[in-house]
Amino acid sequence: MIVPMKKFYLIVLQRDRENLPERLRKLGVAHVEELQGIGDKYQNLERERMEVESVHNFLQNYIDKKSKPGKADSSKSLKYEECKDVREIINEISAAKQKLNLLEDQVIDLKREIDRVASWGEVSMTMLERVVEGAGFSLRFFDFPAKELIALPKETEYIRISAPKGRCRISLIVREGDQIPDLPPSFLEFLPPEIPLSQMRQEIALIENQKQEIIAKLRKHSANLSLIKKYLHMLDYNIILERLRSGMPQHESFAYMKGYVPVRDCEKFKKTAAKYGWAIAFDDPVEEDQPPTLIENSPAVRIIQPVFEFLGTVPNYWEYDISSWFLIFFSIFFAMIFGDASYGAIIVLATIASIYAGKRKGKPIVDAQKLFLLLGSATIIWGALTATWFGINFDNLPKLLQNISLPLINGQSPDSENNVKVICFLIGLIQLSIAHIKNFKRDFPDLKCMSQAGSLLLLLGMFNAALNLVIDATRYPIENWAIGCIAIGFFLVFIFGNWNGKLGSSLIESLKNIIPTFLGTVSVFADIVSYIRLWAVGLAGLAFSQTVNGMASGMLGGPSGFLIGFVLKLIIAAVILVAAHALNFMLTVLSVIVHGIRLNMLEFSGHLGMEWSGYKYDPLKEDENLSAS
C-alpha cells in the first residue's frame, strides 16, 4: 500500500537553522522539498565532492589484483583525524593523476613528432646549427613530388636528399642576405625537430619509467579505495545538510521550509518541534501537490520490489500500488514464457544453493531469492502441466511426468495450442478487468464510474472477438451478447468518459474526442490479443529446445563404429545440448524482461491510467551506510 502523507510547514528562528538539519536527521521522518544550496561553504563542498569522485573513479583503474582493497570499519563514521588522512591521500592521488596525465601528453607529443620526422633520419635543429655555424648560409628543407623538381630556378643552390619513391627532398642553401625563391605550393617545408630521433626515443623510455613508478604508487593507494568511497559518501551527506541549511528561505529573524511526513509520524514530529521550540503545521496534500511515494507491503508481497528497483519505476502518490497484482501476474507470465519445468527446477536449485551459501556466511534470505523461488516453482508447475521437460517429446517422457500433465494443454490434444491461446486471452481479460474494477471503485459514486463499466463490457465483447478472429471462427462464433457488450460499452465510454457533472458539456467534450474514443475501443481488442505473446514466446523456446535435441540425437543415432568415435560423438552432443539450452535459457530471460514486464507496465498499467511518474520518499535520517565500504 502507498502510505498516506501529510504536508508540513516548519518555521524556526535564524539561530536554530544551523542545528535544524542535524535534528531533522535524528528525527528521521521528514522528507524535505529540495532546496538550492548557496554560499561559500556549499560551493566548497560541491567542488571537493567533484574532486574526490574524480579521484575515486580514477583509482579504480589501478586496483592491485593481488591484494584486495582494505575495508573501512562499518561500525563507525570517519573521525576528524581519519578525514585528515584521507584528504592527504586524495591530494597525493590527485597530484599523481595530474603528473601521469602530463607525462602521457608528453609521450603523445613525442610519438607524434617521431612519426613526423622518422623518414628524415637523425636530424635536429641543434645539429644543423652546429653544422652551419659561421658558414655564412643556412639550410631549409623541402619535400615535394619528384616531377616538380624542374620548377626550381636554375640558380638555386640545393643538396638532394634520399626520399620515398615518387617524392623529392632537398636541402635548400640560403646564403646570408638572400631570399628564398618563390616555390610552388606543392613544396612543403620540413622543420627539423629540436632534438634527434634517438634522443626522443630515450625520453619516451624515461617517461615510461616515471609512469610505471607513479602507477606502482597508485596501486598501493588502491587499498584505500573503501576509505575514499566512505569519505565521498560523507561528503554527499554533508552536501544534503548544507543545501538544506543554506537554502532555507528566510524572512527577518525566521527561516522556514516545507516537506512531507507519513501521517503516522506526525505526532512524533510535533513532539520534536515542541522540544526545540519550532512552529509546525500540517495539511493534507491536494491534487496539485506531488508528495513522495512510500510503499509498504507484507513480506509475501514485498518480494516483487527488486523488479521495481531494477526497472527504476515508482508510482505517483495519487496512483495505485499494484505490487500484489504485479507479483501474481508476473509469476504467471514468467512461468508461461519460460514454459519448461526443467528450467524452473534449475532456477529453484540455483536459488537454494545461493541461499545455502549465504547462510554459511551468516547472510539472511533476501527478497530477490524468495522471488526466484516463487518464479521457479511457478515455471515447474506450468511446465509439468504442459509436459515440457527440456523440450523432450511427450512419448519419450517417463510415465509419471506424462500422468501429471494436463491433456488439454500437454500437446497430445489436437486443440492443445488453441487451448493455450484461450488461456492467454482469458488471463488478459481477467487482468485488464481488474484494472477497470479498481477504477470503478475509485470513481464511485460519481457517474464517471459508468465509463469504467463501459470498458468492462468492451473487454467482454472484444474477448469474444479475439477468440473468433485469432483462434477459430467456427468454434467461437461472434455471439449477440458480445455485440451488445461492445455497443453498450462504447455508448457508456462515450457518454461518461468526460463526465463533469453536466450532461450537455460532457457530451460536447465527448464529441470533440470521438476519434480517440473510437481508437481506444479498437485498442481494447489489440490489448487482449497482445497476451498471445505468452504462447508465442513460450512456443519459440520449446521449438528451440526440440531442434537442439533433434541435432544431438541425430548425431548419436548413426552407426556406432569404433568406441572412440562414439565417445567423441557423445561429447560433442553433450556440448551442443548444454550450450544450446544455456543460450535458450538466456534468451528466455530477455523475453521475460521484454514481454512479461511489458504486459504489466503497459497494458495493465495503461488500463489503470498509471504513468509511474512518482519519486521515492527519502527522509533526512541517520545514515546506516555512511561507513559502508
Per-residue model confidence as pLDDT tens digits over 509-544: 777 778 877 877 888 898 899 898 888 887 777 776
Percent of the chain whose pLDDT exceeds 70: 91
Number of C-beta neighbours around residue 442 at 10 A: 14
Tell me, yes or no, whether 432 and 513 share the same domain. yes
Tell me, yes or no, whether 65 and 19 share the same domain. no
Mean pLDDT of the chain: 85
State pLDDT tens for residues 554-608: 655 555 444 555 555 556 666 666 777 677 778 777 778 878 788 888 888 888 8
- Regarding beta strands 250-251 and 188-190, do their DSSP bridges make them parallel or antiparallel, or are they unpaired? unpaired
Tell me, yes or no, whether 503 and 446 share the same domain. yes
State pLDDT tens for residues 442-485: 888 888 899 899 999 999 999 999 999 999 898 999 999 999 99
Q: Is residue 308 part of a domain?
A: no
Q: Is residue 7 part of a domain?
A: yes
pLDDT score, position 68 = 55
pLDDT score, position 467 = 92
Contact of 541 with 588, CB cutoff 8 Å = yes
Q: Is residue 626 part of a domain?
A: yes
Q: Is residue 332 part of a domain?
A: no
Following CA atoms 568, 572, 577, 580 in sequence, which dihedral angle do they give, to the nearest 10 degrees? 180
Q: Tell me the one-letter amino acid at 469.
A: L
What's the CATH number where 16 sits? 3.30.70.120
Cell numbers found for residue 366: 533476501
- Residue where a domain stops, chosen among 488, 514, 531: 531
Q: How many helices (DSSP H) and strands (DSSP E) are in the chain? A: 22, 9
pLDDT score, position 272 = 92
Tell me, yes or no, whether 505 and 445 share the same domain. yes
Tell me, yes or no, whether 504 and 435 share the same domain. yes
Which range of residues forms the domain containing residue 143?
125-192
Give 252's pLDDT tier (boundaries 50, 70, 90). Answer: confident
Is residue 392 classed as helix, strand or coil in its secondary structure?
Answer: coil
Tell me, yes or no, whether 281 and 227 share the same domain. no
Tell me, yes or no, whether 429 and 286 share the same domain. no
Residue with cell 463490457: 457
State pLDDT tens for residues 318-355: 999 999 999 999 999 999 988 889 889 999 999 999 99
Is residue 180 classed as helix, strand or coil in its secondary structure?
Answer: coil
Q: Is residue 302 part of a domain?
A: no
Instruction: Establish whether the linkage from the previous residue to 164 is cis, with ω within 30° of 0.
Output: no
- Regarding beta strands 167-175 and 137-145, do their DSSP bridges make them parallel or antiparallel, or are they unpaired? antiparallel
Average pLDDT over residues 383-387: 91
Is residue 21 classed as helix, strand or coil in its secondary structure?
Answer: helix
State pLDDT tens for residues 71-110: 444 444 565 556 778 888 889 999 999 999 999 999 999 9
Most confident of 36-45, 203-212, 401-410, 604-613: 203-212
Q: Which residues contact 547 (CB under 8 A, 6 or more apart)?
A: none
Q: Which residues contact 353 (CB under 8 A, 6 or more apart)?
A: none
pLDDT score, position 486 = 92
- For the chain, the first-to-last Cα distance in angstroms comes to 33
Euclidean distance between CA atoms 560 and 557, whole angstroms: 8
Question: Residue 136 — left, alpha, or beta (φ > 0 → left; ψ -120 to 50 → alpha)?
Answer: left
- Residue where a domain stops, chosen among 497, 531, 565: 531
Tell me, yes or no, whether 423 and 518 share the same domain. yes
Q: Is residue 157 part of a domain?
A: yes
Residue 44 has pLDDT above 50, yes or no: yes
Q: Is residue 400 part of a domain?
A: no
Q: Is residue 516 part of a domain?
A: yes
Most confident of 162-166, 392-396, 580-584: 162-166
State pLDDT tens for residues 599-628: 888 888 888 888 888 999 988 887 655 443
pLDDT score, position 576 = 67
Q: Which pTM value belongs to this model?
A: 0.74
Percent of the chain whose pLDDT exceeds 90: 32
Of residues 499 and 354, which shows the higher confidence score?
Answer: 354
Provide long-range contacts, Cβ within 8 A and 24+ apart, for 457-461: 457/485, 457/486, 457/488, 457/489, 457/492, 458/485, 458/486, 458/489, 458/490, 458/493, 458/521, 458/524, 459/429, 459/432, 459/433, 459/489, 459/524, 459/528, 460/429, 460/485, 460/489, 461/485, 461/486, 461/489
pLDDT score, position 627 = 40
Question: Sheet containing 158-161: which strands, arranged edge to edge?
Answer: 158-161, 167-175, 137-145, 188-190
Euclidean distance between CA atoms 389 and 386, whole angstroms: 9
Tell me, yes or no, whether 226 and 253 share the same domain. no
Residue 498 has pLDDT above 50, yes or no: yes
Contact of 260 with 7, CB cutoff 8 Å = yes
Q: What domain count does the chain have?
A: 4
Q: Tell me the one-letter amino acid at 154.
A: K
pLDDT score, position 459 = 93
Tell me, yes or no, whether 525 and 436 share the same domain. yes
pLDDT score, position 75 = 41
pLDDT score, position 82 = 66
Tell me, yes or no, whether 216 and 187 share the same domain. no
